[in-house]
Structure 1
Amino acid sequence: MFERFTGDARAVVVGAAEQAARRGRRQVEAEHLLLALLDRTGGRAASVLVALDVDRRRDSMVRALADARRRAGLSRADSEALAGLGIDVEQIVDRVEEGHGAGALEPEAGRGAPPAPRRGWFSGPAFSSEAKAVVKGALRMALERGEREIGDQHLLLALTAHPGVVSEVLADHGVGLPEVWKALSAGSFGRGDGGAGRAA
């Protein structure tokens, strides 16, 4: 499927791998795709994020992602569901961190076997099942919009549509699926990919 990615979409994938490596993770997660999108200044997704005024809220989004990691990746909806059962997630996190240090419940860095070498243009770490679902969702978004290539805007659309922490953080900051879809439909962001084009 990566052969259908535009240059901008490929840059997001490479950026996500860099985000994962910086955090000592062996797999690219959906969160890393979002962080890579937030770092981009070119491409249709970056134009949409500017149009939705995400620049002012970027730091808040990064903090929200970090808070979710601290809760072992639980979304706010998950935490609320557990609260309904009488389980106070924040209290549990505080107790665990008292005994084992800050970030004790975050997914372990470097856990598991090293990724197998990959062939092709992307030789980075493997994608988690959630990140793979986002990539498949990007393909669906491209098809739904009648577009043959998968661009960074389709990755953004897929992140807003895939249930979990990332879509929750995006929605909390005014970047839901309807807002992104509307901005893409109304905007004049062009159909190019910043001149990068597709790799041969």
Structure 2
Amino acid sequence: MFERFSRNARIAVVLAQEEARELNCGQIRPEHLLVGVLQSAGRDLSGLLADYDVTGEGIRRRLEPADAPDDSFESDAEALQSIGIDLRAIRDRVAQNFGPDAWDNALRMSGRRPRRRGHIPFTKSAKKVLELSLREALAHKDKTIDAEHVLLGILRGGDPFTVGLIAEHVDVEQLRAAIVSLLDDAA
């Protein structure tokens, strides 16, 4: 299924894994996918979400860290490779373009510290979100799954905590209709 993900949707999944890691969670949950989508959204979706004051940083502040053990960068790279993302190549490209310490420096400057952890699995509800994002793309007759589809999957998935985070800012049905309209306009 991940081969159908657009660049923004793949980045959202990577960012969800990073979010789970940063919060010391042992699993990627729907709220991590939400933060990933909010951080990777294209201009149109970002603008729409900003109108409702739904931002990655705002949602992120509502999430609580948990405890999880440390593992290695290599395990992360292997896990991401399984969805078509070469983390080693990305890290090497960053080092090539910005210097050997750019990767870790960027993490430190963003308030995050570089962490070395293994593969983080998806919860059942996060897997459901990804499955529903595929269904949303198929329903809209789109060939790729984009960040908008993942967000629709989150809204449709019904995870009470994650949907509640969104509902603090906007009526969920109103947001869903706005995203569908955005997808229809892009077609």
Shorter-chain-normalised TM-score: which range? Answer: 0.5 to 0.7
1:149 to 127, 137, 144: 144
Matched, 1:179 2:138: no
Task: Provide the aligned C-alpha RMSD in A.
Answer: 3.1
* Displaced runs of 4 or more, over 6 A: none
Q: CA deviation at 1:53?
A: 3.6
| Aligned residue runs from structure 1 range 159-170, under 5 A | 159-163=154-158, 164-170=160-166
Alignment identity in percent?
27
Q: CA deviation at 1:180?
A: 3.0
1-side partners of 2:131 and 2:157: how far apart? Answer: 10
Matched, 1:132 2:91: no
- Show the counterpart of 1:100: none
CA deviations over 1:128-168 (Å, ceiling 9, x no partner): 11110100010111112221211000111111122220012
**Retained in 2: the 8 A contact 1:44–1:153?**
no
Q: CA deviation at 1:183?
A: 4.1
Compute the TM-score of the two structures, normalised by the length of structure 1: 0.61
AA in 2 matched with 1:20 = A
Q: CA deviation at 1:181?
A: 2.7
**Cα gap change, 1:131/1:31 in structure 2, threshold over 3 Å: closer, same or farther?**
same
Gaps of at least 5 residues in structure 1 are 70-105, 192-200
**Retained in 2: the 8 A contact 1:142–1:154?**
yes
2-side partners of 1:9 and 1:179: how far apart? Answer: 19
- Show the counterpart of 1:18: 18
**Cα gap change, 1:44/1:157 in structure 2, threshold over 3 Å: closer, same or farther?**
farther
**Cα gap change, 1:189/1:46 in structure 2, threshold over 3 Å: closer, same or farther?**
farther
1:121 to 84, 87, 104: 84
| Aligned residue runs from structure 1 range 1-200, under 5 A | 1-40=1-40, 42=42, 44-55=44-55, 59=58, 61-63=59-61, 65-66=62-63, 108-110=67-69, 118=79, 119-122=82-85, 124-163=119-158, 164-174=160-170, 176-186=172-182, 190=186
- Which structure would you say has the larger Rg? 1
Q: CA deviation at 1:58?
A: 5.2
Q: Report the 3-state secondary structure (helix = DSSP H, G, I; strand = E; otherwise coil) of the residue aligned with 1:27.
A: coil
AA in 2 matched with 1:173 = H
How many residues align? The count is 148
- Which structure carries more relative contact order (alpha carbon 8 Å, separation 6+)? 1
CA deviations over 1:22-53 (Å, ceiling 9, x no partner): 11223211111111223235355324312434
Compute the TM-score of the two structures, normalised by the length of structure 2: 0.64
